[in-house]
Amino acid sequence: MTRVTRGGRRLPAAQALDLLRASDRFPPGDPRRESAQRKVARLVAGDPAVLLHPALAGSAPMLRRWARFVPYLLPDQAEAAMAVTNRQVVGEQLAALRLLENDPTTSLGTADAALRHLDDADPAARQRADDGTHAVTARRAEATASVLSALAARHLADDGERGIQDWRTRFALVQGTSPEMLAHLRSSVAAAVGLTERWWLVRAPLVGGRYCDRRVGLPSPVATLAEHTALGADGIAAAAPSLAAGARNAAARIRPGVENVVTIEADGRLSATVAHRPTPRGALMVAHETGHAVHALESRSPEPPGALVGETVACWSALVTGAFCALPSDGQSAAHALALGDTLVEELFVSALVSAFEDEVYATVAAHGVATVADLDASWLRLHRTLFGAATEVPSSIESGWARLPSLATDPGHALSYVWATVLALAIRERHPHDSSGAIARAIAAGGVDADEFTALVGFEGGEWIDIGLAALAPLLDSLAGGVSEGAGCA
C-alpha cells in the first residue's frame, strides 16, 4: 500500500483513512472503535480540507457529522466511561419497554389492531376502536413513564457533562441543521395551530365531529395496491416530469406487507412494503413510501438520507399525489381532498404536538428528576385540547395516548421530522409546482446531504422555507375544504 507523506510526515487525509480502517476492525460499541472515530472526528474538525481527498469522498457526509460534535467531546477516558453508563441505561430501559409486548393487554400490536378501525363506516365501531386503543395505553403507562423518565434523565446528564443546553442539539447536529432552526420551526408552527380547529369545523359535519372520527373519510370505491402505486407514480410525474421514469420504477417495487418499510438489500436491490389500506388515505401512505423508494433509487450518494431529508421527499410525494388526486376530475376527488387535508393536519400539527410533549417530558425531568404518569397524562390531554380548541371535545380517556409511541424512547426528537418535512414539502410545491428547472430531481439525486444543504438545493435561503411553507398551507386547506364540501354536497 502506498502511504501519502510530505517530508516523511503522514498527511491528515492518510491519517484519517488509517483511523477509519482501525475503527472498522472492531464491532459497534467497542471502546477501541469509538476512540478511533473520535480521533478522526477531531482531525476533520481541525482541518476540513481533509475531506477533499478522493479516498474519503464516500465517507465525507459521515465525517462531517462526527466533526460537528467535536466541540462537545470529552477526554477519551471520560467518553469511554460515559459510553458504558449510557449503553447500560438505554439497554435496560428498552428491554423493559419490550417486555410490554409479551402481554396482549399491553402490546402495541393490540393497540394497532384497534386503531385500524378508526376509518370504519360505523360510528360505534370507531368509538370502540378508540376505547380499545386507550385501554391498552393506560395499562402501558406506568412502565412507559418509568422508561421515558430514566432515558430523559440520562440524556440530560450526558448533555450537562458536555455543556449542551438544548436537549435537541444532538438531533440537530446529526441531521445537519441547528437547534435554532428547529426552534424557529416549532414556534412558527405553534403560531399556525388554529388551522387544525378550522379544518375540523369543515370535516365534522360531513364525517362526524367526535374525537374518534378523526381518521374516517368520505365513501370511496375500494382501491387495490396496484391502483394506488399507479396514482403515486402519476402524482410524482405530474409535479416533477424528470422523475416520471424513476417514479414508475419505484412504484413497481411496492409490495403488501405488515409494515411500511423501504430497504436496500445486501445485493443492492430495493424492496418496499406497505401495510395497505384500500382508501384515499391509504393512497397517500403508498405515495409516501413511493417517495422513499424514489429517493433510494435516484440517489447518487453512498450515504442514506437523514430523517429530515428522507421524510421531506416522502411527504412531498404524498402531498403532490394527494393534490393530483383531489383535482375535480371525477366524483372521488372530494374523498381524496378530505384525505389530503386530514393527512396534512396530522403530519404537521399532531406531530408538532408530540414534539411539544417531548419538550415537556424533558422539562419535567430536569425540574423534578422524574415524570410521573400523572404528569404525562395531564400534559398529553392539555396539548390535545389546545390543538383542537372548541372544534371537538377531547375525552379524558385519551390521556395515556403517549404510551403508544415507542419512538419517544427509541428515537428522541424524531416526531419533529414530520413537522419539518411537511412544511418544507409545502414550500417546495409552492416554489416548484412543476419542477421545470429540475431542482427537486437534483436534490433527490444528491441523496444523504445535510438538512440545511437540501433546503439550499431546492432553492431556499436560510429558514425562509418555513414562512413560505406555512403561508401556502391555509390557502391549500381552503381549496381542499371547497372540494370536500362541493363533492359531498353533490354525492
| Per-residue pLDDT tens digits for 36-51 | 999 999 999 999 998 8
Would you say residue 378 lies in a domain?
Answer: yes
User: pLDDT grade, residue 5 (50/70/90)?
Assistant: very low
User: pLDDT grade, residue 2 (50/70/90)?
Assistant: very low
CA quadruple 251, 253, 257, 262: dihedral positive or negative?
negative
Residue 131 has pLDDT above 50, yes or no: yes
pLDDT (average), residues 113-128: 95
pLDDT of residue 204: 95
Tell me the sheet residues that pair with 432.
Answer: none
pLDDT of residue 488: 64
Would you say residue 361 lies in a domain?
Answer: yes
Q: Are residues 199 and 53 in the same domain?
A: no
Report the chain's mean pLDDT, rounded to a whole number: 93
Return d(Cα 311, Cα 309) in angstroms, integer: 6
Would you say residue 146 lies in a domain?
Answer: no
User: pLDDT grade, residue 485 (50/70/90)?
Assistant: confident
- What's the pLDDT tens digit per position in 137-174? 999 999 999 999 999 999 999 999 999 999 999 999 99
- What's the pLDDT tens digit per position in 378-401? 999 999 999 999 999 999 999 999
Residue 4 has pLDDT above 90, yes or no: no
Q: Quick check: helix, strand or coil at residue 438?
A: coil
User: pLDDT grade, residue 7 (50/70/90)?
Assistant: very low
Would you say residue 131 lies in a domain?
Answer: no
- For residue 484, the tally of other CB atoms under 10 A from its CB is 29
Q: Which H/E stretch holds residue 48?
A: none
Q: Are residues 44 and 172 in the same domain?
A: no
Domain end, chosen from 73, 89, 121, is at: 73
Q: CA 285 → CA 40, 257, 339, 347, 467, distances in Å?
A: 40, 13, 10, 12, 26
Tally of residues, the chain: 491
Would you say residue 289 lies in a domain?
Answer: no
Domain range for 35 is 5-73
pLDDT of residue 10: 58
Closest CA to 65 of 30, 36, 31, 37: 37
pLDDT of residue 487: 66
Domain end, chosen from 43, 73, 103, is at: 73
Residue 417 has pLDDT above 60, yes or no: yes
Q: Are residues 202 and 346 in the same domain?
A: yes
Domain end, chosen from 33, 50, 73, is at: 73
Q: Are residues 188 and 334 in the same domain?
A: yes
Would you say residue 54 lies in a domain?
Answer: yes
Cell of 207: 364525517
Q: Are residues 340 and 467 in the same domain?
A: yes
pLDDT of residue 1: 35
pLDDT (average), residues 105-131: 96
Return d(Cα 12, Cα 463) in angstroms, integer: 35
User: pLDDT grade, residue 481 (50/70/90)?
Assistant: very high
**CATH number of domain containing 412:** 1.10.1370.20
- For residue 371, the tally of other CB atoms under 10 A from its CB is 23
Q: Are residues 189 and 63 in the same domain?
A: no
Q: First and final CA of the chain: distance in angstroms?
A: 74
Would you say residue 19 lies in a domain?
Answer: yes
| Integer Rg of the chain from CA | 24
User: pLDDT grade, residue 178 (50/70/90)?
Assistant: very high
Residue 486 has pLDDT above 70, yes or no: yes
Q: Are residues 358 and 483 in the same domain?
A: yes
Q: Are residues 481 and 354 in the same domain?
A: yes
pLDDT (average), residues 100-110: 97
Number of domains in the chain: 2
User: pLDDT grade, residue 58 (50/70/90)?
Assistant: confident
Would you say residue 356 lies in a domain?
Answer: yes
